[in-house]
Amino acid sequence: MAKKAAPKKKAAPAKSRSAYIAKAPIRRLMKNEGAGLVAEDAVILLIEELTKAAKEVTKEAVKLVKSDKRKRVTAADIAACE
């Protein structure tokens, strides 16, 4: 007797990770700075802005590292980009 094929599982939809920063710590930071209530869209917007800033600083730091023919990005590289 032939075996029945196991039913195929549906693959989870591919997620593109647009935010690398979690919402909860940002909301907590905003509340610690005096915001009583924080809207979800405010948290998302702040995360987007922080991510953009981090990407720009990282790109500049990587340029410094490559120009010095190094591989490791250091705190000094990040500080030099501020």
What pLDDT sits at residue 20?
84
Q: Which of 10-19, 22-31, 58-67 has the lowest mean pLDDT?
A: 10-19
Query: Over the stretch 53-68, which tens digit does the pLDDT of each residue have?
Result: 999 999 999 999 999 9
User: Per-domain residue ranges for the chain?
Assistant: 23-80
User: What is the reported pTM?
Assistant: 0.70
What pLDDT sits at residue 2?
64
Closest CA to 73 of 55, 50, 41, 63: 63
Task: Name the CATH code of domain 23-80 (choices 3.40.30.10, 3.40.50.10300, 3.40.1390.10, 1.10.20.10).
Answer: 1.10.20.10
Average pLDDT value over all residues in the chain: 86
Dist CA 42 CA 26 (whole Å): 10
